[in-house]
Chain A
Amino acid sequence: MSIEVKNITKTYGKFTALKNVSLEIPDGKLVALLGPSGGGKTTLLRIIAGLEVPDKKPETDICFRGKSVLNAHVAERQIGFVFQHYALFRNMNVFNNIAFGLKVRRGKERPTSSGIKQRVMELIGLIQLDGMENRYPDQLSGGQRQRVALARALAIEPQFLLLDEPFGALDARVRQNLRRWLRKLHDEIKLTSIFVTHDQEEALELADRVVVINAGRIEQDGTPNEVFHHPKNAFVMDFLGNVNLFHGRADADRFVYEHPDTKNGTLERFFARPHEIDLRPDNPDGTCFPATVKRVQLAASVVKIELLDHNSKEIYVEIPHEEYGKFQFKVGDSVFAVPKKPIVFKEDYSI
């Protein structure tokens, strides 16, 4: 294990940001800490970096490659940290920003000035900012600044790369490009990296592992596939994409949706993603429930349909265009909906 985090608790006055969190980060992986804002993911990242100190407890520890770094200052941890708002040194040009970590070294560890120059120019090539080494941060675009911040963190050849909402301040298009570029970069240099995000799409697309964090606890830790298709609880299900919640009754071996005329069985709550709902014009076996079409959006890779059920609750459905072509539902049509594989979570959770 590259990074082991054991029993971390962090409180700010009365507010508990992290409750006894333990986490292992495997070598060479790109790991996402995903969760809503205020959930504790940034705090966890900052604690790993050494920018924040966890509450003092005997069982708390942070190990980098088996060695405890709990009492090491951030400057001694050899981590590359990338901030959401870049945190570039405004009084230095691109070259000096990237060179900073090497220039502040003392004695034997400090490379020669030609060594520094070579390394910095290499990194400038890597971030595709050739010819811009004399620009100041204020003369760069957001995406360029974030790449400089990344190069600056990589210059010190860190053990790990930690990124705090690295694309949070960028607009959608730049974000998308930079995301792909980062994934490619990670595949090339294989540096164990952790990034914080509140964007589930970003986490699923970019990461090898996704750690879902909410209210100071880890809700689930798994591959993108695991957390998306096999969410452990309702929170994870809800957070990783749109989800519909239904009330219904478990009747012998099948689910029957809450409907004025179903009274048998126990009331349960089911979850289903929009793309896992089928729409039909009829109700042959009685398992479907009636709804009305409220809105149809065709301008997307799938057809997005908004339904209203008999309680006037909104249900979001996504069906492929070919599928939609069969029935061509219009606004106001009565349809029948059926979740293909509804999921039931036992514990209480409200969306």
Chain B
Amino acid sequence: MVLPGFRITLGFTLTYTALIVLIPLSLLVWHASHLTAADFFKTVGNPQVVASYKLTFTASFLAALTNAVFGFIAAWALVRYRFPGRKILDSIIDIPFAIPTAVSGIALTTICADSGWVGGLAKAYGIKLVEFAERYRLDFFDVPLLDKVDGLRIAYTPLGVYTALVFIGLPFVVRTLQPAITDFDKEIEEAAHSLGANRFQTFWRIIFPSLVPALVTGFVLAFARALGEYGSVIFIAGNIPFETEITSQLIYTQLEELNYPKATAIALVMLVASFTCMFAINMIQWYSARYSK
């Protein structure tokens, strides 16, 4: 079908995208180009920088994965069941969107530190766990975040980074899944039951596959947000080089030292890597949605 207004809308879209996204990003490339190739690779290949990339991508991926699982359950419960306080709970989901990231960062640090609620529990039970493991010589409990003195440490460890990223990513998964679950036709579920499928089969073979595209979208959004997150992470991470320093923090440090070419070089690698990830995930999504026109 020929719809009028194709040229003007396309023109607008391209101009707008250029102004908002492409021009600022091209400056990134331009700034980075002040470095020689050798300097560029020296900067981005610096072990501290590489460690930050690893941390950022791993923590973001795991956080998005966690949100995909628990966000799915939350969205399911909020859409499918009627219970007292449902509406309040539904609005609470948006809080990580709404409050300034620095505030959530400080709040998370407070409760996850040794003296906080969660940190205190993690410490006490962590110590018990280590003692238990020692008593029965369970060597596999010898994981880096657990020790005899501090128990399980959350704040100022990669676990803290992960915790903050889970916090900020949850609404993305829940909000993208809710409409998809609401739209799911009750008759299709009834059809599956009438054909003899039990609830598990109906969920696993019929309902879940139709929600995968929305779930992947939610995952991508949560992952993307986590990659670029700064405010809520830096407080709980403690920014220890090689351990809990995320890439955004590293870029910020370079900027503070007025080292723009280095900062943009680090950012450029991040940009290319994020774009590749997003593109790959979108390909999966297109593939999973191939059966609908």
Contact = CB atoms under 8 A, between A and B. Distances in A.
B196 A105 contact: yes
B293 A139 contact: yes
A56 interface: no
Contacts of A152: 191, 195
A87 B293 contact: no
Contact of B195 (A51, A90, A91, A156): A156
Nearest to A103: B205
Band of interface residues on B = 20 to 34
A74 B193 CA distance: 6
Contact of A83 (B191, B205, B291): B191
Contacts of B209: 91
A109 to B, nearest CB: 9
B190 interface: yes
A187 interface: no
Range of interface residues on chain A?
Answer: 20 to 34
Chain A contact residues: helix, strand, loop or mixed: loop
Contacts of A32: none
B198 interface: yes
A90 B293 contact: no
B210 A101 contact: no
A153 interface: yes
B210 A80 contact: no
A104 B205 contact: yes
Interface in A147-189: 149, 152-153, 155-156
A87 B191 contact: yes
A275 interface: no
B102 to A, nearest CB: 43
Nearest to A49: B194
B196 A136 contact: no
Contacts of A75: 193-198
Given A75-B196, A104-B196, A90 B190 contact: no
B185 interface: yes
A85 interface: yes
Contacts of B194: 49-51, 74-75, 77, 79-81, 153
Contact of B197 (A78, A80, A104): A104
Contacts of B187: 83, 85, 87
Contacts of A139: 293
A100 interface: yes
A138 interface: yes
Contact of A87 (B190, B210, B291, B292): B190
A64 interface: no
A279 B206 CA distance: 61
Given A90-B210, A90-B291, A100 B195 contact: yes
A91 B190 contact: no
A217 to B, nearest CB: 26
Contacts of A149: 191
A51 B190 contact: yes
A81 B187 CA distance: 10
Nearest to B196: A75
Given A138-B293, A139-B293, A87 B198 contact: no
B188 interface: yes
A90 B208 CA distance: 12
B192 interface: yes
Contacts of B292: 90, 136, 138
A74 B210 contact: no
Q: Across chains A and B, which 8 residue pairs bring their CB atoms closest together, nearest first?
A: A101-B195, A87-B187, A87-B191, A81-B194, A136-B291, A91-B209, A104-B197, A87-B188
11 contacts: A74-B190, A75-B197, A75-B198, A80-B194, A83-B187, A85-B185, A91-B206, A100-B192, A101-B197, A136-B292, A138-B293
Interface of A: 49-51, 73-75, 77-81, 83, 85, 87-93, 100-101, 104-105, 136, 138-139, 149, 152-153, 155-156
Interface of B: 185, 187-188, 190-198, 201, 205-206, 209-210, 291-293
Given A51-B193, A74-B190, 18 more contacts: A50-B194, A74-B193, A74-B194, A75-B195, A79-B194, A81-B191, A83-B191, A87-B187, A90-B291, A100-B205, A104-B192, A136-B292, A138-B291, A138-B292, A153-B194, A153-B195, A155-B195, A156-B196
